[in-house]
């Protein structure tokens, strides 16, 4: 029997914005480090309800809520939000990044 759940967060290689910048990953307000373009982070967490967010400087993504069961793996993807012409994202606290729940598997 599995006592933990797993979260896999990926960041695509593509995207013209933030080429050299890393995004900070937080789940339930706990910092799990930074992710650069083309990287993947594997996180073991306790089963239950969680909130994930990606941050960069004073901006970030909207929170993503998800629930995990013991032994389950949740896949999230973080990428730039909008496009380079949507400059107003830089002046808001959310929306500059897009964090998406892709799937949850056993």
**CATH class as words, domain 5-105:** mainly beta
CB-CB neighbours of 48 under 10 Å: 12
- What per-residue confidence (pLDDT) applies to 105? 77
Can you tell me the mean pLDDT for 47-59? 94
Of residues 100 and 82, more confidently modeled: 100
**Residues 4-39 pLDDT 10s:** 999 999 999 986 678 889 999 999 999 999 999 999
**3-state DSSP call for residue 29?**
coil
- How far apart, in whole angstroms, are the C-alpha atoms of residue 68 and residue 100? 16
The owner of tokens 């949740």 is 74
Q: pTM of the predicted model, to two decimals?
A: 0.85
Of residues 106 and 80, more confidently modeled: 80
């Amino acid at each position: 029997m599995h006592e933990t759940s797993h979260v896999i967060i990926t960041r695509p290689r593509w995207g013209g914005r933030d080429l050299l910048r890393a995004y900070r990953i937080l789940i339930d307000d706990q910092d799990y480090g930074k992710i650069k373009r083309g990287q993947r982070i594997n996180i073991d967490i306790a089963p239950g309800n969680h909130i994930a967010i990606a941050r960069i400087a004073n901006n970030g993504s909207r929170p993503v809520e998800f629930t995990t069961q013991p032994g389950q793996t949740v896949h999230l993807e973080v990428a730039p939000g909008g496009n380079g012409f949507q400059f107003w994202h830089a002046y808001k606290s959310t929306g500059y990044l897009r964090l998406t729940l892709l799937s949850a598997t056993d």
